[in-house]
Amino acid sequence: MQNSLPRLNLSTTHKQMGKKVAQQIAKLVTDKPDAVIGLATGSTPDPMYKELIRMHKENGLDFSRVRFFNLDEYVGLPYDRPQSYHYEMREKFFKHINAKPENIHIPDGMAEDLQAACADYEKAIRDAGGIDLQILGIGETGHIGFNEPGTPFDAITHISRLSEKTRADNARFFGGDKNKVPTQAITMGLKTITAAKQIILMANGEHKGNIVREAMTTTPNQEVPASILQQVADKVTFFLDRAAAKHFKPYQQLFSVR
Ligand code: PGA
């Protein structure tokens, strides 16, 4: 099994990082109009979505045949609630482009049978031919999707229990009240994510610096879920802004990040 370092792409600002990732997506969509793209929520991808919307409106970037699969969704949070990822994705991205509703997939955290919803989601990804490009953020726990520390590397789409740290981090989207953050989510598993043909992990801000360094340099282990990306490093690029790369000494020298 391969263990090397993912590629790095450094930007000065969060906004510039988002634009560069949007360009990667635009290139894929131009080369393969029915590409399968895995998407992420949270604040990290905001500038990327803004740029993709601009490219759609100003340059006619066509999403009509693109198939989208989101990483995760809270369990038990109705889709008309602004904190749900169904709502967030619609408002932030899908309603501004020409994606077809039947091509948009987000795990069903309101399903009566959550296990069946997980199995259906995994199958839908497989039936689509697998993910061509997966976009990831990273949590300060090292989670990708909602795969928290301790998640087995061979997990497929499953119900995860959110760590207390993640609930505290996401309380900012719930009026600052951690108790309002759901305790569970449906998430693509680490095996689902690493099966993607290409993977881009984005991180911005100094608060992500330590976990990014760990994810890239610690021996892959379940306590740092994102460290699994080293095992598929040949298809992974970390897009970082200067602040997130701050603690990254070897790369600071390589890329003159101050
Ligand atoms: P953030 O979340 O983009 O809001 O920082 C990232 C994550 O938790 O994966």
pLDDT tens-digit readout, 192-217: 999 999 999 999 999 999 999 999 98
Mean pLDDT of 42-50: 98
Q: CB under 8 Å to 92, separation ≥6 — which residues?
A: 46, 49
Q: Which amino acid is at 52?
A: L
Mutation test residue for ligand 1: of 44, 46, 238, the one with most atoms within 8 Å of CB: 44
Pocket of ligand 1 (CB under 6 A): 42-44, 137-139, 143
Closest residue by Cα to atom 8, ligand 1, is: 139
pLDDT at 247: 77
Mean pLDDT of 231-239: 96
pLDDT tens-digit readout, 86-124: 999 999 999 999 999 999 999 999 999 999 999 999 999
- Is pLDDT above 50 for 230? yes
Closest residue by Cα to atom 1, ligand 1, is: 42
Whole-angstrom distance, CA of residue 55 vs CA of residue 158:
34
- Is pLDDT above 60 for 1? no
What share of the chain in percent tops pLDDT 90? 92
pLDDT at 246: 83
Please give the distance, rounded to the nearest whole angstrom, from the Cα atom of residue 235 to the centre of ligand 1.
Answer: 21
- Is pLDDT above 60 for 23? yes
pLDDT at 215: 95
